[in-house]
Structure 1
Amino acid sequence: MGFLDDLKRQADALKAKTTIDHAALARNTALADVACKTALSYFIKLAPELNVLRPKSPARFTLDRRNAFDALQLTEFRVDSRRKPLRREEVFDHVVLHWRLVSGQPVEIVKDFLTDIEKLESRLAQSGAQVDKEAVRDPESGKFQGMRYRFVADFLGNARLTPLHDNGRVLIQLQNLDGFESVSFELPGFEVGNARMDELARWLAGQPHSFLQDAQGLRRVEA
């Protein structure tokens, strides 16, 4: 066997590996995209029902010791999705279910310590509330005395699914379901079906759920 034959053997092996890699990528892409298609279809059906039912959250949403909100109503559910090109195909970029957590209660908070200001602003940023803030100053000296925050205690939540096409997985990110916190984890694409989405619907409806069962790389970050 000559050198040319050796090169041909190496080239054939590389071609076979490339074919296998491309096939694996195609399978993984399909798995992740089907998961997002399932979620989108489910969300489109779920949102109108929840907009009628307007479930109350069993969670407490705490800004500070004096300002905590219970039984917030979940309203204004809406669905969004985006697509993108990938390897000459059009695939999902993300699928999101948005909602509002409503109390209608006007709130005014004044903080004078830096640590309290930072903690409150972190929670307000996580909450999605529309906040008017202003510095409080001594009327004579102009010396800074603290910060004043005015807003209506209506907050935002969402559930976002982002397909990880190369490995056939889905990144799931949740905002403000069990208080002011972010939850993120991954699931294999084949795990994201109607049964899994039913568990998310139970969570949104304030019922016991197992949506986080077998979650991989689970992170919960409180504001």
Structure 2
Amino acid sequence: MRPVGYLEELKRQADAALAQQGQDIGALQRNALLADSACQSAARYMGTLVRQLNVLQPLCRATFRFDNKHAFSQLRFTDFRSDSRMKKLRDAEVFDHVVLNFNAKTDTRVSIAKDFPPEIEKLEARLRQCGVFYESSVIRDPDNGKFVEKRFDFIADFQATVRIIPDHDSGQIAFHVANLDGFETVSVVFPAFEVGSARLDELARWITGEPNAFLRDGQHLRRVTA
């Protein structure tokens, strides 16, 4: 048996690398198809869902609490609208994201004053979280110019969002749900093949305040409270 020359050894390694690359490309293509199919299903589902929810205007079960004195509950979700955006991936047109937006309106003008910096930062974070447009002003002592408080004025109408973002290479779908259960963003990831009508039905139950299992078996579950 003649010894294998170095050039032949390099050829063998190159052939093995090409075979592996072919397998990797095939896996990427399959994952991308699964992720995009899940987004297509979600976009169709959301398009139908908004028409029903704009009629039903489900009651929000959460309490939106700015502080101990200013809290809102028993609000109705309204103004449901869905949208999606596309992008280019390896010369193919694929989903960038699918989004569902809706509001919880109070039509109530609120004025809140805070004099403690951590409380000011916390309130500002909650106002950003719920998409409220606000005006703020710093109140100072007229005699010595020292800081007294910071005052915030706004209409307490809140925005909620469900954003669906695919990872085409891994074949996974991330959901980011903001302000459905108060001032909180919930993030969770599912394999794309699990994102179908059954999973989306559980999401719809969550939005309408019904018992649901949407987060069950989800990966990388994270809750961030403003």
Aligned counterpart, 1:171: 174
- 1:88 equivalent to 2:91? Answer yes
Q: Which residue identity does 1:148 align to in structure 2? A: R
Q: Which piece of structure 1 moves more, 3-12 or 102-111?
A: 3-12
The residue aligned with 1:19 is 22
Alignment of 1:66 with 2:99, yes or no, is: no
> Identity, % of aligned pairs?
50
**1:219 equivalent among 211, 219, 222:** 222
**Residue equivalent to 2:32:** 29
**Which amino acid is the alignment partner of residue 40 of structure 1?**
A
Corresponding letter in the other structure for 1:39: A
Q: What is the match of residue 38 of structure 1? A: 41
Q: Deviations over 1:159-185 (max 9, x none)?
A: 011111111001111100111001111
Counterpart among 68, 74, 78 of residue 75 in structure 1: 78
TM-score (normalised: structure 1) = 0.96
User: Which residue in the other structure is 2:207 paired with?
Assistant: 204
TM-superposed CA distance for 1:149, in Å, is: 0.9
Q: 4+ residue stretches of structure 1 with deviation over 4 A?
A: none
Q: Distance in 2 between matches of 1:139 and 1:63?
A: 28
Point out where structure 2 has 5 or more consecutive residues left out of the alignment: none
Shift of 1:7: 3.4
Describe the SS at the equivalent of 1:167: coil
Residue 158 of structure 1 aligns with which residue? 161
TM-score, normalization by structure 2: 0.94
Number of aligned positions between the proteins: 223
Shift of 1:130: 1.2
- Aligned-residue CA RMSD in angstroms? 1.3
Q: What runs of 5+ residues in structure 1 fail to find an aligned partner?
A: none
Aligned partner of 1:181: which letter? E
Q: How many Å separate the matches in 2 of 1:52 and 1:167?
A: 37
The answer to whether residue 138 in structure 2 is matched with residue 135 in structure 1 is yes
Matched position secondary structure for 1:36? helix
Greater Cα offset, 173-182 or 115-124: 115-124
1: CA distance, partners of 2:223 / 2:10: 53
SS at match of 1:64: coil
